[in-house]
Structure formats: structure tokens, C-alpha cells
Amino acid sequence: MTDFLPHVYGQGKVKKEWKRLLEERRLPHTMILYGDEGLGKTTAAFDLAGVLTGKSGKLWEEIRLWQRESSGKEPVVTFADHQVWYLRPMGMELKIEQFRLFLDAMATFDEMVHVCIIDETQTMMDPVANSLLKTLEEPEGNIHFILITHDLHALLPTIISRGERFAFLPLSEGDYLSLMTSDPKKYHFPKGMDAKVLFQLSEGNPGITLEVCDEKGEAEPQSAMDFWNILTHDAMPFATLSAMELGERKDFLRRLRWIRLVGRDIMVIAETGDASLSRCGSVAGREASLASFWDRGRGEKAMGVLQTAETAVSRYINSKNVWDYILISLEHIQKGSQKWSRS
């Protein structure tokens, strides 16, 4: 099993099932990989495509080159002598033009195995979904479709019914720690954190870990702490925070996750009175100073709001609307029955 899907950490159940299906020559021609962002679904799709085409080495060499040089604006990307096709959203959605490029090429495919990977399938509009559905209803024997989504319920039921679903789950602590040691240069631990702390913070999600360990890693806890400080002490937090630049969706999502991580510490300290339980060591003292303002269940309610907000962002709800929802809701929670204002 160690040589099967070598770029995928964890996901033992998926690996075992795919290996069995391949050995029995029963791998479905339409597969749906679903689970939270950051769990390795796209990596697994490429690894499986390498197995199916027999060109894993060439495929990954080309993927690494593309990742270094890509502008991110290509409507489709092909690898391994055009046997592996990769479609991902252009802007906010997958567009019909992208799928037409694949369909036109598909008509010329030879008998070699071809794999079409469609990332963030939940962003398909109806024209794309309908075109895909027609193709899935009459699958070619040498073409495999791998659909990837972090929001399974956003797919058309008719598309879900055409494919076999495979769930991707957070990593166990053992798999997570193995991943951390596999490439030390890739993970720049923020001050006061080690792999075990990051496992708790990321809940076993490698994608979140990469965000935590990016080049701005040490600045992020301080920025998140500033958010909670303003929200707690500013006379008009909505006015102060609503003017912040949110950046692109990925930047906003990273900020939101850090706000959740720091907020979770504040909630735990508020309920236990034990500052040593803080997992963001660089801001533990500042967290403890705010804890009393988020006791009596207020911290727990705030975490519920932030979880809802993160889900909304993952479903491409407008970031400004989500941000306003967070600010209004958390100000109301923090002030309790006191009069509050969004002016």
C-alpha cells in the first residue's frame, strides 16, 4: 500500500477501496471525491490518474512544472500526453467553454485511457451540469471522470446518482505527524507551535495547516487577536472592522480560520479559567485578558457563528456579506442584552 497513491497521506479507507476496485477491474468511470477543502482530494485524483494512464512519473513532473509557472487562468490543463485533463473554476465558477474544449477533444480520443478531473464541481452552473450529465449518461469505456467537491449537497442529484462517492476525512494524529516530518521545509511552524498543536488547531486538515504555516504565519495570530480585541473593547466595532480589506476569497478564508482558532482559545479559557490550555502560544496572554468578556456561553455562541460563516465562504457566498454577518452577530453576542449599534 505504501507505493499506491504515494502523494496521499491518510485516507486509508479510500486507498483500500480503490486498490480493490482496480484489482477487480471494477473501478467506476465516474467518481465523486468529497470532503472539506485541504484534505488531498485533488492530489488523490492526480495520483489515481497516474495509475490509470501508467504515466505517473511524467504526470507529476508536469504537474510540478505547471504549479511553478501557471498563471491560473488556463481554461483547461492537460498532462501526460493529453491523457489527463484538469478543469477548475475560472473566477467563481466552471464555465461551459471549458467543458466544450474537453468534449471537442474527447471526440478524437484514441483507445488509450483518458482521465478528466473536474475540481470544485459545486461551482458548475446549469449549462455545464447539463452537458456533463449527458456525457455521464453514455460513458466511454476508456474515459474516467473524477469530480471533486467540498460541498456535495450543491451538486445536482442526477449527477450524484451517476457516480460513486468517496469521502475524504481529516487525518489521524499519526498520519498527520508523518506528513509534518515528510517535508520540513514546507511547514514553517508559527512561534509557540509544534506539530501536535497544529494537529489540534487544524483538526487534522493538511490544507489548513499550510495556511497556518505560510510565510505570514507569525503575523496571523496577532491580526486575529486584534480582531477580538476590537470586537470586545471598541465602542463601535462594526464601524471599525467593516472597513477592513477582505482580499480574495482564499485570503478571507485564512483570516477567518485564524479568528476561529484564537476565538476557540478565548472560549476555552473563559470556561475553564486555565490560560495554559491556549494553543496559540504567541498570543496566550492577550487571549486570557479577554476571556472574561466571553464567558457564560458567549464564546460558544461566537464559535457557532464563525463555523456558519466559514461554511458560507466555502459555498462562495459574498465575502462582504459574510463579514457583516460575523460582525453584527458577534457584537450582539458579546454585548448580550445591552443596546448595540452597527453604525
Span 119-139, pLDDT tens digits: 999 988 888 888 888 888 887
Q: Determine the pLDDT at residue 181.
A: 85
C-alpha radius of gyration, the chain, whole number? 22
Give, in degrees to the nearest 5, the angle at Cα 305 between 300 and 308: 125
Residues near 230 by Cβ (< 8 Å), separated by ≥ 6?
237, 240, 241
Average pLDDT, the chain: 88
Query: Is 309 within the bounds of a domain?
Result: yes
- Give residue 216's identity as a one-letter amino acid code: K
Strands (DSSP E) along the chain, which ranges?
30-34, 77-79, 84-87, 114-118, 143-149, 164-167
In a shared domain, residues 159 and 236: no
**Residue 246, pLDDT above cutoff 60:** yes
In a domain, 3, yes or no: no
Residue 321: inside a domain: yes
Do 237 and 153 belong together in one domain?
A: no
Grid coordinates in use for 93? 465558477
* pLDDT at site 214: 64
pTM (two decimals): 0.79
- Do residues 240 and 158 share a domain? no
- Rounded CA-CA distance 33/327 in Å is 34
Same domain, 225 and 114: no
- Residue 314's pLDDT is what? 78
* CA 87-31-128 angle, 5° bins: 40
Report the pLDDT value the prediction gives residue 192, as an integer from 0 to 100: 65
Write down the pLDDT at residue 69.
Answer: 85
Identify whether the C-beta of residue 306 lies closer than 8 Å to the C-beta of residue 324: no
* Number of separate domains in the chain: 2
Residue 342 has pLDDT above 70, yes or no: no
**pLDDT score, position 315:** 77
| Percentage with pLDDT > 70 across the chain | 94
Residue 263: pLDDT band with limits 50, 70, 90: very high
126 and 244 assigned to the same domain: no
239 and 163, same domain (yes or no) = no
Report CA-CA distances (Å) from 252 to 35, 227, 257, 314: 20, 13, 9, 11
Mean pLDDT of 59-76: 87
Name the domain boundary from 148, 167, 186: 167
d(CA 284, CA 224): 12
Q: At residue 340, does pLDDT exceed 80?
A: no
Residue 189: its pLDDT value, please? Answer: 74
pLDDT of residue 2: 58
pLDDT at 126: 84
Give the range of the structural domain holding residue 244, as residue numbers without chain letter.
218-335
Find the mean pLDDT for residues 75-91.
Answer: 92
pLDDT over 70 at 216, yes or no:
no
- The CATH number of residue 32's host domain is 3.40.50.300
Count helices and strands in the chain by DSSP H and E runs: 15, 6
Q: What is the DSSP letter of 186?
A: G
